[in-house]
Structure 1
Amino acid sequence: MAVAYSVGPIKQQQVDKTYRLIEAVGYNVDLQAWRDFCGMRVARTWPAPYADEVITAENPLGYVAGACIMRPVHDRICGRVLDVPVFVVVSGGDTRGASNSLLAYLMATARNKNCGFIRVLGLEPCNWPRSTDVSRRERGILIPVH
């Protein structure tokens, strides 16, 4: 069954719903820390070119089926890359649709930000996205931007 997802920056009313996804995959961040992390993004009124953004995929019933965190970075080998340290999709019936919707949004964002690649990092719950472990960043999957 094809479902149209609303994909975009996290909204205030999605913060707690999205936390359930982050919690389900085992990231070591509590609800208040997540609220604080998202609160700075929701409150931002001007674009911040190198700041983390939380993106959600919400189905027509209002359920958040997927979420990711992205930020443009400069990689010494690949040049400008859209880093995606968190990419989570939890859906009972349309994992592919939610994933494809998030990936389409990431691809459009990467083109707009002049990134040559999207790097989706492997799921390592012990490393929250603010990790400065460079070796971790090198273990991601590189997706060429077209």
Structure 2
Amino acid sequence: MASELKIGQLQETQVERAYVVAQAGMPRLTLASWRQVTSGSERRNFIVAADINDYVRGLCHARMENHPLAGRLFDIAIFIVVSPFREQEIAAKLFSNVKKQAIDANCNYLRVWTLRPENWDLLDDQDYRHRWDHGSMHPL
């Protein structure tokens, strides 16, 4: 199945299907809030893994940061995989894709935040994003 995945930017036609995955990791996320963020330019920061039927199986929110300690940082605030089978394969392929993007962008580090329901509220909190003490840092 993982070889049948399409990984790329969240498309407008995938917004509703991706919401189901996002809500699995962030139960307080409302559909209205999800639609608002994914209808604007922020949608380009969402990367999805979709199966051959275009069901979203994995979702991440990633963007570049100029971190005060890490320098150029590829920051993954949301990384969720939901599938009835082969979750590890899907996660590995999605992670491999974002890691390649980080390397191609000449980032010094890639950080994956620890998934917590409040992450959605912290996406725009620059002070939180510039901290060093959360998530898992991966030197590149």
Q: Give 3-state SS (helix, strand or coil) of 2:29's partner.
A: coil
1:102 and 2:94 equivalent?
yes
Alpha-carbon distance in 2 for matches of 1:101, 1:31? 27
Alpha-carbon distance in 1 for matches of 2:124, 2:27? 12
CA shift at 1:131, angstroms?
3.2
CA shift at 1:101, angstroms?
1.5
Query: Which residue is 1:16 aligned to?
Result: 16
Q: State which drifts further: 1-10 or 96-105.
A: 1-10
Is this contact kept in 2: 1:66–1:90, CA < 8 A? yes
Between Structure 1 and Structure 2, which shows a larger proportion of helix residues?
Answer: 2
Among candidates 104, 125, 132, match of residue 131 of structure 1: 125
Alpha-carbon distance in 1 for matches of 2:72, 2:135? 15
Closer/same/farther in 2, CA of residues 2 and 111 from structure 1, 3 Å limit: closer
Q: Give 3-state SS (helix, strand or coil) of 2:119's partner.
A: coil
Closer/same/farther in 2, CA of residues 12 and 2 from structure 1, 3 Å limit: closer
Q: State which drifts further: 87-96 or 126-135.
A: 126-135
Aligned length: 137
CA shift at 1:137, angstroms?
5.6
Alpha-carbon distance in 1 for matches of 2:11, 2:93? 17
Query: Which residue is 1:47 aligned to?
Result: none
Percentage of identical aligned residues: 28
Q: CA RMSD in A?
A: 2.1
CA shift at 1:122, angstroms?
0.4
Query: Which residue is 1:142 aligned to?
Result: 137
CA shift at 1:26, angstroms?
2.4
Q: Give 3-state SS (helix, strand or coil) of 1:77's partner.
A: coil
TM-score by length of 1: 0.83
CA shift at 1:116, angstroms?
1.4
Unaligned runs of 5+ in 1: 44-51
Q: Give 3-state SS (helix, strand or coil) of 1:19's partner.
A: helix
TM-score by length of 2: 0.86
